[in-house]
A and B are shown apart, each in its own frame.
Chain A
Amino acid sequence: MQDQPGLRRRGFLTAASGVGALALVGCGGPDDSGAGSGAAGKGGGGKPRRGGRLRAAFAGGGASETLDPHLANLFADVARAKALFDKLADYGDDLSARPRLASGWEPNAGLDRWKVTLRKADFHDGRPVTAQDVLFSYRRIADPEKAFRAKASLEPIDLRASRAVDERTVEFVLKRPTAEFPNVLAAFGAYIVPDGSSAADFDKKPVGSGPFRFGSFAPGRSALFRRNDDHWDGAPYLDEVEFVVANEESARVNALLGGQVEYAHELNPTTARAHEGGGRIEIVRLRNSAMQAFAMKTDRAPFDDERVREAFFLIADRQELVDGALSGAGVVGNDLFGKGYEYYADGLPQREQDLDRARSLLRKAGAEKLKVTLDTSAVAAGFTEAASIFRDQAAKAGVTVDVAMGSKDSYWADILDSGTLCCYRSGAMPIEAHISQRLLTDSTTNATKWHHKDFDALYQQAQATKDTQERAAVFGRMQRRLYAEGGFLVWGFADWIIGTARTVRGVDREAPANTLDWARFDKVWLA
């Protein structure tokens, strides 16, 4: 079997999980249900029109796909789950939690008890969405026998102590103060399903409260959903949305160009360049969707010396990396996760290449003629390119970088504990979640081995701080520390590229992949 160009493993989502986000007390937060009108405005294109079927092509999971929203793992799964189901909250364009099924939330003074009120909403079979459904859904996800993806995100909740106060009020009892608790409600895969739903229901006739009702489903081929006229956020404009699966990028582009689909998810930068402004299709670039970085293990030589880490920060020519590895489809990074997101420390000076200073830092650290192995793999777009570009940049500073290609199917597990330097990327998630998952001593995916008790304490302090301004200041301090001596050399943020037919309107152009308005079809219409 020959190797097929471009036929790479479908992209796994990087889920947001973990604790916390912005304490939006009540529903008065930044355009809550207004995500609808906002999306329409951003998509542009005149007055929304009703009717029609939109066909959307995603890379998918083939015959093993399921409509169980708690099993959502791929972009296609999430897009389908989002059409059929709702979460209590979801992420806005800046990755702050926005109310969805929850109309508001209110913490106690200690930030460890949260009262969440539900809006009036119905499931597709007419039953109202109640506090009991919420608790059932969360308990299903947290089932110790199962490994649902959102389980880790819901970990802060003590589900045994949490209870339904009345039909539409849930009181969540938390294991510790969590100022960013709404992030948990928005967590990836934390969808609300009716009380008593079983795995079999999801395959045959899933019932949710989302903007579309179930029509038909053939795993790996097609899922057809119909408009839910009674959706609490207003009925979708489209009569129907059909999700089709095409793992090969060229197949998605061809289907779009040939008029077989109206929406193609996840295109290559080269495809985008070839068709941008060509008049046949529209290219939508979702900025800041994927962080691109090199991860240095800070607990071992040579990166246990912060001068070496700083030297590496200064070796990278970020623009060259963006142009070469991302084909220009992205922006440069500043060694911090979450550009454009809430709490991002955007006041820090942009780091530039400075080989002289890098050389002198290496000299001081006694690391002249340094040799390191850079682990990479074809697991994500641009990884191997980034590695070879960085190798050449490092050579100019007298550092020898050996690029080692790893298996793409086990890459993420392989780099977690072994090696010293590796290519790394991450999808969108709140900055708080990035910290809690990857930068605390007990974080489960701490690829830079960043273990600092005082850093952990700052995180706890942020989570126990009710005032948003004060909390932002704490997150600012943590990011300044990471900028100065952290293990992530964040060199860029890749665009997420979507192609649509020219008739499609209302596609959000600002929402990073993984957020509410991304792959959202209830606010899209066909002109």
Chain B
Amino acid sequence: MSGLGSWAARRLLLGGVQVVAVVLLVFALTEALPGDAAVALAGDQPDPARIAAIREAMDLDRPAYERLGDWAVGLPHADFGTSLASGRPVTSYLSGAFGPTLLLASVTVVLLVPVGVGLGVLAARFEGRFVDRLVSAVTLGVYAVPEFAFGVLLVTVFALRLDWLPPTAVGYGTDLLAHPAALLLPVLVLLSRPVCSLSRLVRAGMIDALASPYVAHARRYGIPGARVRYAHALPNAVAPAAQQLARTVDWLLCGVIVVEALFVIPGLGTVLMNAVAERDVPVVQGLAVVFGVITVVLNLGADLVAHRFAPRAEVAA
């Protein structure tokens, strides 16, 4: 297992480098954006003297590398700096908004795996027949609908027409668990596209695996169909799906931004949107670190899973 251990350590190190690269890139890009926090704050009253005063009050008149340096020094102490817009610590932004996003993402992933894999296996089992064509057509169709449009559609039908569910989570704050009904539509929107891509991947993997010589061999031994499907074919089909799942997570974050805006859920996506609009660089940087770390850790986990299920595939990965 030490081979796997050093492999994981190498991946972790690479992940750390990736996080640093993301942060630097984000910092450079936010610096390159037209206008800064002072200009954004001044809005349609761009009084040059006021902009200069805001800039000075926010320390924006200092060179970029100094600001980046100060910020980097704080990082090891979990000090992400303070927001330019409010002067509150960035950590309070992150901790406050992390809950709702984590809840949304984890509920989505928990449902995503059985639903996506289940649909994929189902379609593969009836390859070319009606069920397969139905699943393929629906997943392809839903996949083509952007989250925003899908969300508006669901709200109109289930919240405003039928009055079954609340249209938004406005006023519930971060305590979403107390209002599970408000979570239903957002999770459905978040699930819509990843379920489609995942099930299509599993279907393809399953079909390949079911057609492989070792499955045929297992069949010849008289092993029951279900066992062949789930114990022999599925692990091979899951390996690429696990990596896809990890990739889905950063994509989920995109979906989360749309969903949070549409359903008024005060999570990380909302914080990111506002921070970018306000050119609140420390908050954007803090979010970049968090998103970067999450993505790296998840991809590492996915590679480990792939490694475990289908060691041969690792060479390619």
Q: Is A404 an interface residue (CB 8 A)?
A: no
Number of A interface residues in the complex (CB < 8 A) = 62
Q: Is B160 an interface residue (CB 8 A)?
A: yes
Q: Is B2 an interface residue (CB 8 A)?
A: no
Q: Which single member of B40, B47, B54, B163 contacts A444 (CB below 8 Å)?
A: B47
Q: Which single member of B53, B155, B168 contacts A246 (CB below 8 Å)?
A: B168
Say whether B54 contacts A64, CB under 8 Å: no
Q: Which residue of A lies closest to B182 (CB)?
A: A260
Mask of A396-432 contacts with B, CB within 8 angstroms, 1/0: 0000000000010110111010000000011100000
Q: How large is the interface on B (under 10, 10 to 19, 20 to 34, 35 or more residues)?
A: 35 or more
A247 in contact with B170 given A219-B86, A409-B34 (CB within 8 Å): no
Say whether A426 contacts B258, CB under 8 Å: no
Cβ distance B100 to chain A, nearest Cβ, rounded Å: 10
Which residues of chain A are near B45, meaning CB under 8 Å?
12, 14-15, 17, 149, 412, 437, 445
Q: Which of A1-22 contact B (CB under 8 A)?
A: 1-2, 4-5, 7, 9-10, 12-15, 17
How many contacts between A and B, using CB within 8 angstroms? 178
A248 in contact with B86 given A1-B254, A14-B44 (CB within 8 Å): no
A257 in contact with B167 given A64-B88, A409-B35, A444-B48 (CB within 8 Å): yes
Say whether B40 contacts A254, CB under 8 Å: no
Say whether A248 contacts B261, CB under 8 Å: yes
Interface stretch (choices A55-63, A104-112, A331-339) = A55-63
A254 in contact with B274 given A73-B41, A248-B262, A407-B35 (CB within 8 Å): no
Which residues of chain B are near A203, meaning CB under 8 Å?
88
Q: Bound state CA distance, A408 and B278, in angstroms?
A: 12
Q: Is B132 an interface residue (CB 8 A)?
A: no
Cβ distance A73 to chain B, nearest Cβ, rounded Å: 7
Interface of B is mostly: helix
Q: Which single member of B43, B57, B160, B283 contacts A73 (CB below 8 Å)?
A: B43
Which residues of chain A are near B275, meaning CB under 8 Å?
62, 64
Q: Which single member of B57, B270, B279 contacts A220 (CB below 8 Å)?
A: B270
Say whether B43 contacts A251, CB under 8 Å: no
Q: Which single member of B57, B148, B160 contacts A4 (CB below 8 Å)?
A: B148
Mask of A136-151 contacts with B, CB within 8 angstroms, 1/0: 0000000001110101
By a beta-carbon cutoff of 8 Å, the part of chain A in contact with chain B is 1-2, 4-5, 7, 9-10, 12-15, 17, 55, 57, 61-66, 73, 145-147, 149, 151-152, 199, 203, 218-222, 242, 244-248, 250-251, 254-255, 257-258, 260-261, 379, 407, 409-410, 412-414, 416, 425-427, 437, 444-445
By a beta-carbon cutoff of 8 Å, the part of chain B in contact with chain A is 33-35, 39-51, 53-54, 57, 83, 85-88, 93, 96-97, 146-148, 152, 155, 159-160, 163, 166-168, 170-171, 173-174, 254, 257-258, 261-264, 266, 270-271, 273-275, 277-280, 283
